[in-house]
Amino acid sequence: MSAAVSPGAAPEPSPAPKLDPREEAPRIPSPPYRRPSLRSAVGILVLFVLFGSLFYPAAITGLAGVVVPHNADGSLIANPNGTWQGSSLVGENITDPHLFWLRPSAADYLPFQGAGDSSSYGPTDPMLRNVTLRYIAEYGLTNVSVPLDLVSASASGLDPDLTPGAVLVQVPRVAFEDNLTQNWTTRFVLAHIETPYAGIFGPQYVNVVELDLALVHALALMGRPLPVPSGELSSLCPSGGEPCTAGS
Amino acid sequence: MFDLRSLLDVGLAILIVLLIAPFLGRYMAKVYMGRPSLLDALLDPLETAIYRFLGTHPRVAMGWKEYAASLLVLNAVATAFVYALLVAQGSLPMNPLGAPNMSWDLAFHTSVSFMTNTDFQHYTPEHQLSMLSALLGLMMLMFLSAATGLTVAAAFIRGFVRRDGTVGNFWVDITRTLTRILLPLSLLGAFLFALAGVPQTFTGSITYFPLSGGVHILPLGPVATWDAIEFLGTNGGGYFAANAAHPLQNPSAVTNFLAVIMMLVIPFSTIFTFGHMVRRPGESWPLLVTVLTIFLVALGLFMYFELSNPFLAGVATQNSGYLYGAETRFTIPEDALFQVSSIYANVGATSMVLGALTPVAQSTLLFGMFLQSAPGGDGTGFGMLLIFTILTVFIGGLMVGRTPEYLGKKIGQPQIKWATVTILSHPFAIFVPLVVALVSGLGAVAAGTGPHAFTVLLYEFTSESANNGSGMGPIQDNTLFFNVAGAVVMLVGRYLPILAMLAIGGSLASQDTLPPGPGTLRTQSATFALLLLGVLLILTGLLFLPVLALGPLSQIGVGGL
């Protein structure tokens, strides 16, 4: 048995006697080389698949499904007719002038696209200015000072949030289109500002997906339901009966 | 300006990492030294069965060559397995969104990328990766690559205490890394992520009908479990293309906070593991102070230069900071903490678009990948730090005119030879493909021209050589050249340093330990920390400042920047 000792837990071999240890550290012959075992390698692979790929996700999926089912499913919002309206975490390409808009998106808010960073310009690329100016024009905000987040693409292309300033700057348009007072609309927005969690985590922001849903709901309660946007949603609404608005 | 309260978030995250690290580091040392721990009752019988299954005996230790060969064989087998999965995924089960088979070069790049702890993604996960490939292939590799890195660190450190030429039993080390370190931490981390709002389901997608009209597909999956090992394993590949910027992968400032802690905790703990394994816990402190200094300075620089982009002044207001290519739900300090942690710990996850960062912020990130060791990825980051430490001891020894020694082991020609090769291999692996890309015109096709395009290309190869995995778009890199060249760069950037670390460890293990003499450089001192800091910054600066000047720094002065 030529193999030397030591699992992780090797007892220290007693120091060899030295004449003058500072002169020359005696070289110890290398332990024998054995060819690595393929069986061990395949065995480790099986082990990592069993634990890392199967046991680990299955255990957490089971646990999360019981403890936090809403989170585990993706924080989904249901339509009244039982279909999904989306996730409160994922932004939408809202272009209806009656509603608050989100940031421009390289992915058009299509999660399946997986935009990644395809939208970026360098920090001093003239396009950075040009694109920003174009968005300001598209959002119809050339006469006011516009917060950058409203007129710049997010990293994910799916950002559902805006800074409070970026929502408030849209109040005149939304109030006009929905025939609301600016005062009421402003207070409505202010009531939907999320504050930093536990006082320190995150900024003040507004989840615009939830804000618009609440707005649609509030307008419906006032007896002024919004026309349903074009698209397949209308075909799913029950014909006749109640006005088909999203949100409950 | 941002909300000053989020500086508390940043401070708290770093504080928690520093509070956990001594304990986790000590525990990890126990794992590698085979000392008793709480999990023994549960895991000892299991591991005994595993060793029997593997056909290895836990008391048989290996020399460095056998250790390295075992590591390489395992990594090769695993890469081949995942490569086969990826090129055939279209016809395999668990493919809810119909991902097609990957081309050979993309599969090569992807399997190598995840095996080398790089996780550079030339594919779009949403429509180019099946759930089977994600779970059985890439998530398995995320565990395996992190475990590989940690075993290397353990073997390297053992060189300083052993005197029989052995560095440990690779099969035992990698098993225990999984069962005692990565799996328990990942289970905890994934559960915390799920609690904080990250999805965790085997449903591949849902169809939804948004307020804005239309029918869309929302990809879902076991994101919480993916996240935990992505960050704890310093892997950094995203379940979604947008990675940690994606609202389902990093839905709130709380998950951002958890992610930062998970990214940093193992790299910082390893510094303490070292002190315990060499039985001189005090030796950890100068290394920790050096790493922490670099990390905090980088964080401060990044944060300051992301407060606004003067180039956009007058176009739009930046009251909340420079939010171009950032997500609204994170403040600038939180973004900075995430990004600097991710790059300096060689994770490579991104919570913002890196291309639009200001030049100094870009340079800060590049510098972290040039260093690779502040604190660097799981295991290998500490290995790089130890290589720099050995060089510092050597230089310090030359200064006082004595034979350099560290922890009672002589630092001589074999160690310095390997250390030099490692440090030179990094610029070599970056610059050779960079020059090829530039001269051949392939770089211009993929990234365009100009200083920013140069930065993007430099970033691509730096990230691959450092096994970081973040990308600075826009770049069309799913091409034959970038896939094959990238894979080769990742292999060199991973396995050459690993071989060097094992070789140095092995050569040190073959030496007897010397008692400290009058000429021995005292390494448990502030002076030594300062010397190490100087060596790290000066060596890295000498090697890489020229390319930084050609890329991001050349944009300073443009448009008020």
Task: Write down the domain spans for chain B.
Answer: 4-555
Using CB atoms, which residue from A26, A31, A125 is nearest to B452? A125
B211 contacts A94? CB cut-off 8 A = yes
Euclidean distance between CA atoms B2 and B490, whole angstroms? 38
CA distance B84 to chain A (A): 14
Element housing B464 (H / E): helix B451-465
A95 contacts B212? CB cut-off 8 A = yes
A246 contacts B211? CB cut-off 8 A = yes
In the block, tokens 């957490």 appear at: A60
Q: Is A85 helix (H, G, I), strand (E, B) or coil?
A: strand
Torsions phi, psi for B445 (to 5 deg): -65, -40
Answer whether B394's CB lies under 8 Å from B404's CB.
Answer: yes
Using CB atoms, which residue from A16, A59, A124 is nearest to B558? A124
Euclidean distance between CA atoms A103 and A159, whole angstroms? 7
Euclidean distance between CA atoms B64 and B157, whole angstroms? 12
A57 contacts B139? CB cut-off 8 A = yes
Q: Quick check: A106 contacting B, CB < 8 Å?
A: no
The length of chain A is 248
Answer whether A91's CB lies under 8 Å from A108's CB.
Answer: no
CA distance B378 to chain A (A): 17
Q: Check residues B212 and B552 and name the one with the higher pLDDT.
A: B552
Half-sphere exposure at residue A204, Cβ-oriented, CA atoms within 13 angstroms: 17
Half-sphere exposure at residue B448, Cβ-oriented, CA atoms within 13 angstroms: 13
Residues of B in contact with A99 (CB under 8 A): 211
Query: Which chain A residue lies closest to B171 (C-alpha atoms)?
Result: A40
* pLDDT value at residue A185: 97
B329 contacts A148? CB cut-off 8 A = no
What are B181's two structure tokens? 């370190």
CA distance A139 to chain B (A): 13
Q: Is B443 helix (H, G, I), strand (E, B) or coil?
A: helix
Q: Which of residues 160-199 of A touch B (CB under 8 A)?
A: 160-163, 165, 196-197, 199
Which value, in Å, is the radius of gyration of the alpha carbons in chain A? 30
Residues of A in contact with B201 (CB under 8 A): 61, 65, 72-74
Half-sphere exposure at residue A96, Cβ-oriented, CA atoms within 13 angstroms: 21
Q: What is the pLDDT of residues B240-266, one digit of tens each?
A: 999 999 999 999 999 999 999 999 999
Walking along chain A (248 residues) 10 residues at a time, the average pLDDT comes out as 44 47 55 90 98 98 97 92 92 92 90 67 86 93 92 92 96 95 97 94 95 93 75 38 38
Residues of B in contact with A19 (CB under 8 A): none
Q: Quick check: A62 contacting B, CB < 8 Å?
A: no
B12 contacts A5? CB cut-off 8 A = no
B213 contacts A231? CB cut-off 8 A = yes
Euclidean distance between CA atoms B481 and B349, whole angstroms? 24
| Residue B226 scores a pLDDT above 90 | yes
Euclidean distance between CA atoms A219 and B427, whole angstroms? 62
Residues of A in contact with B446 (CB under 8 A): none
DSSP output for B17-29:
HHHHHHHHHHHHH
Q: Any idea which of A65-69, A172-176, B64-68, B315-319 has the lowest mean pLDDT?
A: B315-319
Residue type, A27: R
CA dist B267 to A190, B288, B464, Å? 43, 10, 19
* pLDDT value at residue B468: 96
Using CB atoms, which residue from A120, A150, A213 is nearest to B356? A120
Residues of A in contact with B331 (CB under 8 A): 202-203
CA distance B201 to chain A (A): 6
B216 — pLDDT class (breaks 50, 70, 90): very high
A31 contacts B316? CB cut-off 8 A = no
* pLDDT value at residue B560: 58
Q: Is B347 helix (H, G, I), strand (E, B) or coil?
A: coil
Element housing B341 (H / E): helix B332-344
ipTM of the complex: 0.96
- Give the list of residues 6+ apart from residue B207 with CB closer than 8 angstroms, or none: A83, A84, B215, B216, B217, B218
Q: Quick check: A115 contacting B, CB < 8 Å?
A: yes
Using CB atoms, which residue from A28, A53, A92 is nearest to B136? A53
Half-sphere exposure at residue B113, Cβ-oriented, CA atoms within 13 angstroms: 31
Euclidean distance between CA atoms B513 and B502, whole angstroms? 18
Using CB atoms, which residue from A25, A156, A246 is nearest to B327? A156
* pLDDT value at residue B561: 59
Using CB atoms, which residue from A41, A119, A147 is nearest to B319? A147
- Per the DSSP assignment, residues forming a β-bridge with B216 are B208
A152 contacts B323? CB cut-off 8 A = yes
Q: Is A82 helix (H, G, I), strand (E, B) or coil?
A: coil
Using CB atoms, which residue from A9, A83, A114 is nearest to B35? A9
Closest CA to B414 of A30, A35, A42, A174: A30
What are B150's two structure tokens? 């940690």
What are B435's two structure tokens? 């020059």
In the block, tokens 């991104």 appear at: B350
Using CB atoms, which residue from B55, B215, B240 is nearest to A114? B240
Query: Which chain A residue lies closest to B35 (C-alpha atoms)?
Result: A9
Using CB atoms, which residue from A37, A51, A230 is nearest to B213? A230
Q: Which of residues 25-54 of A touch B (CB under 8 A)?
A: 25-45, 47-49, 51-54
Residues of A in contact with B561 (CB under 8 A): 123-124
Q: What is the pLDDT of residues B405-436, one digit of tens each?
A: 999 999 999 999 999 999 999 999 999 999 99
Cis peptide before B474 (omega within 30 of 0): yes
Name the average pLDDT for chain B: 94
Please give the model's pTM, rounded to 2 decimal places.
0.93
B206 contacts A84? CB cut-off 8 A = yes
Q: How many interface pairs between A and B have CB atoms less than 8 angstroms apart?
A: 509
Q: Is B148 helix (H, G, I), strand (E, B) or coil?
A: helix
Euclidean distance between CA atoms A39 and B53, whole angstroms? 9
Q: Check residues B139 and A241 and name the one with the higher pLDDT.
A: B139
Residue type, B91: S
CA dist B515 to A25, B407, B519, Å? 11, 9, 11
* pLDDT value at residue B344: 98
Q: What is the pLDDT of residues B483-531, one digit of tens each?
A: 999 999 999 999 999 999 999 999 999 999 988 887 788 899 999 999 9
A29 contacts B165? CB cut-off 8 A = yes
Answer whether B234's CB lies under 8 Å from B378's CB.
Answer: yes
Query: Which chain A residue lies closest to B238 (C-alpha atoms)?
Result: A116
Residues of A in contact with B35 (CB under 8 A): 8-9
* Rounded mean pLDDT, B3-19: 93
Closest CA to B234 of B150, B128, B353, B346: B346
B61 contacts A10? CB cut-off 8 A = yes
- Give the list of residues 6+ apart from residue B90 with CB closer than 8 angstroms, or none: B98, B99, B100, B101, B130
Interstrand relation of B62-63 and A205-207 (parallel, antiparallel or unpaired): unpaired
- Give the list of residues 6+ apart from residue B515 with CB closer than 8 angstroms, or none: A21, B408
Answer whether A7's CB lies under 8 Å from B58's CB.
Answer: yes
* pLDDT value at residue B211: 82
CA distance B254 to chain A (A): 6
- Give the list of residues 6+ apart from residue B449 with CB closer than 8 angstroms, or none: none
Q: What is the pLDDT of residues B354-392, one digit of tens each?
A: 988 999 999 999 999 999 999 999 999 999 999 999 999
Query: Which chain B residue lies closest to A12 (C-alpha atoms)?
Result: B162
